[in-house]
Amino acid sequence: MRAKRMTPPVRRTTRRWRTPPAITHGTEAFEGAGILDEIRGPLGLLLWQSLRDVSLWASFPPEEREEIFVAGAEENRLAAVRAAEVDVQVEPPLMTIVRMVGAPGSARPETVAMACQHIAHWADGQGHSGTGIAFAQAAAMALPGDASYAYAVGRLARRRAEYARAETWFRRAVALARQTGDWTSYALAFSGLGNLYAQRGNVPAARRFHVRALRAARRHSLRQIQGAALHDLFVIAAGAAGDEDPERYARAAFEAYGQDHPRLPALAHDLAYHWILRGHFEPALSTFQALLPHMTRLDERLVVLANVARAAAGAGERKLFEETWDEVWDGIARSDSLENGAQVLLELGHGAATLGEPERAERAAERALQVATGRGETRVQAAAEALLESVRRARGARTRAVEVPHPASGGDAEAFAADLVRTLNAALVSR
């Protein structure tokens, strides 16, 4: 009789997810150099020193932090705060960092990280994106196990077109979120990766990541993130040459968002842009005009204005196009690092071509091509090249460079636009 073969017991171990490292430097010459470039004088120097203080503090284990700053450092930082012209929004978080310098051993990582994040939000709102990403990264270093701070760095890096840096932070956020059960950050990080790949023109990868974000949001009942994922899938479907109806994603996202969701204006913008491409200029124009009161940041407002100009051109509203053209060019001249600058210029070029103004169209398209090439935005670069070729070919043939819009295909664009305008207006009243 054969002996019974014994199988060794399975040894169960807790899986340890590896947290990938992230890129911590961009094109700056040294840590925090972007702060000194963007903010001159005592305030810039104070912010740079504060960043260095947090970086030094975060680089030591908690039990070794007590003696890392020299005697009198707290008094020196306090004097610097008093001497600099500090914005009222920045003074409280800066004072948190001053107190950290005075008692580094007892400073709480959560408090330090939150202070850095407040400074990052303030700087980003002022258009100082280099300062913003520096302090967002400092927040992530102060609390290295928190996925939400890693996600915030990735988001800012993507907006600065630092795509490699952004991807490493998004992937780090995915790993951290999975370890800690932070499913909100987990879904958002996949969404961030999807937007990054979409911005770089890799549509299949973008769709894959947005589907993962949607699945995670559904699995964990994150309704608002479901709306965002559906919104992103709408954008991808709208840009694809398939039979899929993009507006079903838009309707589902609209219902998931509700009136007060902060992404509702973005959905309205993207849907109105889709209508422009389909030749539904009137509903697109009414939606863009309803969006303008919601746009508080210069870069956001310029994007909407550029699309007002294009929709106005398609609707035959020449006077409105002229007024908006001037306002957008003035805004571009005041902004050194507009995230969507190439796209803004491209929309102006399309509007000018539609109205039969080839000189203006060529000027805008050439500038869009220059900006898109510098930022590595291949999709916008290709679109600008196509517009330039179209305008120049029309001029060479001595014909008016008028774009022929895609024929309107009917449907419920007007009804959907009315719903959007009504909801956007109600959101303003409820604030």
Only one residue has tokens 């994150």, namely 222
pLDDT(15) > 80: no
Comparing 159-242 with 257-430, is the CATH topology the same? yes
| Contacts of residue 413, Cβ cutoff 8 Å, sequence gap at least 6 | 275, 278, 280, 283
Work out the mean pLDDT of the chain and round it to a whole number. Answer: 88
Position 2 confidence tier, pLDDT thresholds 50, 70, 90: very low
List the structure tokens of 115.
């202070």
pLDDT in tens, 314-331: 999 999 999 999 999 998
Q: Are the CB atoms for 315 and 281 separated by under 8 Å?
A: yes
Q: If you average pLDDT over residues 347-357, what whole number do you get? A: 95
Say what the pLDDT of residue 285 is.
96
Q: Is the model's pTM score more than 0.85?
A: no
Q: Are the CB atoms for 342 and 372 separated by under 8 Å?
A: yes
CA distance 55 to 49: 10
Q: Is 41 exposed, middle or buried (0-12, 13-18, 19+ CB in 10 A)?
A: exposed
Q: Which CATH superfamily is domain 159-242 in?
A: Tetratricopeptide repeat domain (1.25.40.10)
Q: Are the CB atoms for 234 and 271 separated by under 8 Å?
A: yes
268: helix, strand or coil? helix
CA distance 76 to 214: 50
Q: Are the CB atoms for 319 and 303 separated by under 8 Å?
A: no
**Structural domain spans, the chain:** 26-144, 159-242, 257-430
Question: If you ran DSSP here, which 8-state letter would residue 27 be given?
Answer: S
Only one residue has tokens 């559904």, namely 218
399: helix, strand or coil? coil
Burial 177-189 (b: 16+ CB within 10 A, else e): bbbeebbbbbbbb
Q: Are the CB atoms for 243 and 413 separated by under 8 Å?
A: no
- Among the listed residues 37, 29, 77, the one whose alpha carbon sits nearest the alpha carbon of residue 57: 77
Q: Are the CB atoms for 362 and 378 separated by under 8 Å?
A: no
pLDDT(372) > 80: yes
Q: Which CATH superfamily is domain 257-430 in?
A: Tetratricopeptide repeat domain (1.25.40.10)
Alpha helices in 143-202 (DSSP H): 147-159, 163-180, 183-199
Q: If you average pLDDT over residues 114-132, what whole number do you get? A: 94
Percent of the chain surpassing pLDDT 70:
90
pLDDT(30) > 60: yes
pLDDT(179) > 60: yes
Position 17 confidence tier, pLDDT thresholds 50, 70, 90: low
Q: Are the CB atoms for 391 and 399 separated by under 8 Å?
A: no
Our CA dihedral for 207, 146, 50, 117, rounded to 10 degrees, sits at 60
Our CA dihedral for 318, 321, 322, 326, rounded to 10 degrees, sits at 180
